[in-house]
Amino acid sequence: MKIREISEDMEYKILSPYAAHSRESKGRTRDEEKCDIRTDYQRDRDRIIHCKAFRRLSHKTQVFISPEGDHYRTRLTHTLEVAQISKTIARALRLNEDLTEAIALGHDLGHTPFGHSGEEVLNRLLKDGFRHSVQSLRVVDVIENNGLGLNLTWEVRDGILNHSTSGNPGTLEGKIVQLADKIAYVNHDIDDAIRGKVLTNDDIPKDLRRILGETHSKRINTMVKDIIENSMGKDSISMSREIYDATYSLRDFLFKKVYIGSKAKSEEAKAKKVVEQLFYYFCENVDDMPDEFIELTHEYGKERAVADYIAGMTDKYAITKYKEIFLPSPWEDKNF
């Protein structure tokens, strides 16, 4: 018996009847021979970790654009925090950790440079709009692996596509990631805002601190524990009404104090200008893109391929390309 088959058998013995069992996956878009060692969800997790888009997350903005300091979250550290929180919940509920981890690691692969600022620009410029959750699925389906995609399972793809608030994941593992994403960014964005002196802990409303906790770790623990207690033995994933309301009130507080108008967003207008000008330039100069994105224009159209190229850029690369295209380069007179 192969190691994979032993692992698949163990899932039936250990996991909840509500878990997504890897042997019962709805499968991949293209059939392929199974791995002797890894289950399908483990294989998907590994494909995501080893893909180029995952590596680039380390140089993409979470909230603070070009922060001074090494301890602010990036899109990669956010992704890892979502994966950690998700796995903790999945393990406690005896759901499929491998599936949960794969979804969590892939959920933000389609995020633009400069965080949601870049997403807003592309959403405005593209006729059909732009959402990072849809783009994340496009990354794993179309863009990675030289246009072949990663050929992930239906369950992982579904979780990636539906991780945003408006989504409706088809597995409990996907629903865990959907909530864990909110838990992660609400708490780490407060932590970063305090580090950046945009907020102090005392600025957080007293009633929310009373309900959720006085510290970063206590608030995460309260939210995670509440999900586990409210979802144990059920075919649904949810928070209690009190903790849910407090969590979303904390999110609203962040929008008012950090996401809109604070110094955390002071460079946002410049970042949007970079994305916008790059989009217009490459739409007029398609051949200046790498060959893989020129190829995408033939099937998906010029604007869609340009958006794919720009969405994949890191903050630093986008700025470098902007300078290279729009700013004059210094020259040296060698006659002196």
**What's the Cα-to-Cα distance from 313 to each of 26, 58, 60, 86, 301, rounded to whole Å?**
32, 11, 8, 27, 19
Element (H, E) at 101: helix 97-106
Domain membership flag for residue 149:
yes
What global pTM score does this model have?
Answer: 0.94
The one-letter code for the residue type at 129 is G
Domain membership flag for residue 213:
yes
Residue 70 has what pLDDT?
58
Q: How many CB atoms lie within 10 A of CB 232?
A: 11
Domain hosting 165: range is 37-265
Domain membership flag for residue 243:
yes
In the 8-state DSSP scheme, what is residue 262? S
For residue 264, pLDDT over 60 is answered with no
Domain membership flag for residue 256:
yes
Higher pLDDT, 315 or 195: 315
| CA–CA dist 251, 178 (Å, integer) | 15
Mean pLDDT, residues 252-274: 80
For residue 332, pLDDT over 70 is answered with no
Domain membership flag for residue 167:
yes
Query: Smallest Cα–Cα separation from 179: which of 188, 189, 190, 169?
Result: 169
Query: Smallest Cα–Cα separation from 211: which of 199, 194, 223?
Result: 223
Domain membership flag for residue 172:
yes
For residue 109, pLDDT over 80 is answered with yes
| CA–CA dist 46, 101 (Å, integer) | 10
- Looking up residue 123, the CATH number of its domain turns out to be 1.10.3210.10
Domain membership flag for residue 169:
yes
Give 270-317 pLDDT, tens digit per residue: 999 999 999 999 999 999 999 999 999 999 999 999 999 999 999 999
Q: Which residue has the tokens 């075919």?
A: 235
What's the structural domain count of the chain? 1
Residue 52 · residue 149 · CB < 8 Å: no
Domain membership flag for residue 175:
yes
| CA–CA dist 242, 244 (Å, integer) | 6
Report the share of the chain in percent with pLDDT over 90.
Answer: 83
